[in-house]
Amino acid sequence: MSGLRLGLSVVSAFALSSGTARAEPHAYTIDPTASRIVVHVGKTGLFGFAGHEHEVVAPLNRGALVVDPYHVEASAADLELDARSLVVTGRGEPRKDLAKVQETMVGPDCLDAGHFPEIRFVSKAISATRPASGGLDVTVSGTLTLHGVSRAIAVHLLADLGGDQLVAKGTVTLKQTAFGIKPISVGGVVKVKDEVQIELRLIARRR
């Protein structure tokens, strides 16, 4: 759920590759309105084909990062969402099912957002390489807290820096059971996949 940290490394790598003089760390703020985090939830089971995949939008609550253009490893990032604000878009599924799916997702049988509203990613380490296609390939390692459980994850992104704006895109796959979430099952024949894919598009601007 995750990603800000990648921005830091992006800036650092750009500065280092261009041979600039040592620079001070810069503070960036993630733009929650321009950024986008989408969760894709698939179906499995004997009659999984009869179910519908779910698309969930996860609005950013807060996002900040500090970019050290000289020492990538010294950069830091913190990204936070509120589980209660997650919304099922309804894309690809019957409109009549939307309210029930939304209720189930944030309810006690899934996210239990009332008890565990915090979704937070804090970076711990970062590395970056420059691919031939341009931009930077960034790997951000950190701790994700979800459903009251904290686990180490790594997020891979492609990032670009232009002026005072940083743009990063990528995906990460998580297992619900790793965070104490039991995938929803309907009659034992149609159930949500344990693995969910999270698509990230983060835009940060220098303060």
> What would the mean pLDDT of 165-185 be, rounded to a whole number?
90
Per-residue pLDDT of 82-131, as tens digits, reads: 999 999 887 867 788 788 888 988 999 899 999 999 999 999 998 877 76
Per-residue pLDDT of 25-38, as tens digits, reads: 778 889 999 999 99
Identify whether the C-beta of residue 84 lies closer than 8 Å to the C-beta of residue 112.
no
CATH code that applies to domain 4-206: 2.40.128.110
Calculate ∠ Cα 97-99-102, nearest 5°.
Answer: 105
Q: What is the structure's pLDDT at 85?
A: 96
- 75 pLDDT band, cuts 50/70/90, is confident
The closest alpha carbon to 69, from 29, 146, 14, 147, belongs to 14
Q: What is the structure's pLDDT at 70?
A: 60
Top pLDDT among 45 and 72 is at 72
Identify whether the C-beta of residue 73 lies closer than 8 Å to the C-beta of residue 126.
yes
Top pLDDT among 25 and 141 is at 141
Q: Coil, strand or helix: which one is 144?
A: strand
Q: What is the structure's pLDDT at 68?
A: 65
Q: What pTM was estimated for this model as a whole? A: 0.79
Neighbours of 16 (CB within 10 A): 15
